[in-house]
């Protein structure tokens, strides 16, 4: 299926400062892509450029073939967007706001508002002025999840949500994916990104430095153990261990083979205090941003 979103060498300078540097990526229908990177790495700049809020210095972003800057009206008809910082119409109730935003797009919502409000545990008839910041964020999520649009863009969506609602939002992202929508979102929370993404794009100082296929990561395991005797020279696959696998009597290994092979190998090693975890994004994040 052709991608719904394509960026080609998308670049944004603020005066002489390059906030986004030749970002090239694509997101297909039914795909969830995460943007990860430290503060100021260009995530919001990338998302806002796709929405046509920011004029690229060079390169382009296309949604369903429409240029995000030149055809931003067409683009916004196809994208539901949750900004990082909310500016809501405070004199409305949640229901009024969601209906108002729907009407701007020519969509009418009925009982589905109540069904989703119930799942998000908010009263849609309460004025926004009487809501906490997390409740307001949930109203904004209603407005993003209800529309029947092919692309959802979320800027740090779980910010201010409690743990139960974070899980609910992740479930909603999975539902959107199952319904064939494409989702692009930024986050700082690695385990959330791990839970829902098909691919994760790492940004550093505006540049794409790594793309991680999550299916590839999910078959891997991260092994740590304390060595009580001589360090092994070969790994579970019989190949020499990497130079940095053993330091200060601690073994650290990323393993992508079969589990019985790993367990048989560990049984022959002088190890205790053993931990075997899913590979996860943490070591990759550390490599790019803390290494």
- Which residue, 19 or 101, has its beta carbon nearer to ligand ATP? 19
Q: How far is the CB of 31 from ligand ATP (least distance, A)?
A: 21
> CB 286 → ligand ATP: shortest distance, Å?
17
Q: Which is nearer to ligand ATP, 14 or 89 (CB)?
A: 14
Contact 262, 255 (CB under 8 A): yes
Q: Name the one residue in this structure whose structure tokens are 């990526």.
A: 25
Name the token pair of 236. Answer: 């579970």
Secondary structure (3-state) at 48:
helix
The answer to whether the CB of 9 falls within 8 A of the CB of 58 is yes
Give me the residues that bind ligand ATP (CB under 6 A), please.
14, 17, 19, 37, 39-45
Would you say 83 or 257 has its CB closer to ligand ATP?
Answer: 83
What does R_g of the chain's alpha carbons equal in angstroms? 22
Q: How large is the angle between the packed helices 112-119 and 94-104, nearest 10 degrees? A: 130
Q: Which C-beta is closer to ligand ATP: that of 13 or that of 60?
A: 13
Distance, in Å, from the CA atom of 63 to the CA atom of 76, rounded to the nearest integer, reads 9
- Nearest approach in angstroms of CB 158 to ligand ATP is 13
Identify which of residues 42 and 232 has a Cβ nearer to ligand ATP in the complex: 42
Nearer to ligand ATP, 30 or 38 (CB): 38
Minimum Å distance from CB 60 to ligand ATP? 18
| Listed residue (72, 93, 75, 282) closest to 189, CA to CA | 282
CB of 13 to ligand ATP, least distance (A): 9
The CA distance from 210 to 203, in Å, is 7
Contact 184, 47 (CB under 8 A): yes
CB of residue 281 to ligand ATP, shortest distance in Å: 16
């Amino acid at each position: 299926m052709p991608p719904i979103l394509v960026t080609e060498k998308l670049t944004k300078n603020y005066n002489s400062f390059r906030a986004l540097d030749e970002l090239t990526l694509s997101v297909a229908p039914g795909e969830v892509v995460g943007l990860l990177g430290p503060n100021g790495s260009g995530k919001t700049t990338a998302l806002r450029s796709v929405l046509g809020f920011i004029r690229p210095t060079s390169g382009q972003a296309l949604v369903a073939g429409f240029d995000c800057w030149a055809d931003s009206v067409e683009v916004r008809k196809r994208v539901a967007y949750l900004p990082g910082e909310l500016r809501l119409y405070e004199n409305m109730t949640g229901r009024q706001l969601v209906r108002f935003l729907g009407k701007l797009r020519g969509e009418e919502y009925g009982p589905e508002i109540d069904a989703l409000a119930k799942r998000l545990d908010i009263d849609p008839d309460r004025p926004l002025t009487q809501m906490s910041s997390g409740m307001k964020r949930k109203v904004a999520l209603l407005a993003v999840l209800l529309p029947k649009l092919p692309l959802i863009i979320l800027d740090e969506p779980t910010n201010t949500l409690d743990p139960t609602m974070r899980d609910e939002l992740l479930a909603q992202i999975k539902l959107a994916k199952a319904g064939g929508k494409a989702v692009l979102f930024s986050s700082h929370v690695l385990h959330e990104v791990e839970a829902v993404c098909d691919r994760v794009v790492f940004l550093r100082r505006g540049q794409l430095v790594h793309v991680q296929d999550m299916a590839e990561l999910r078959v891997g395991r991260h092994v740590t153990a304390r060595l009580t005797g001589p360090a092994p020279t070969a790994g579970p696959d019989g190949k020499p261990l990497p130079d940095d696998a053993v330091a200060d009597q601690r073994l650290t290994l990323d393993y992508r083979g079969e589990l019985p092979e790993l367990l048989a190998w560990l049984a022959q090693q002088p190890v205790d205090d053993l931990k075997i975890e899913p590979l996860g994004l943490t070591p990759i994040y550390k490599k790019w941003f803390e290494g």
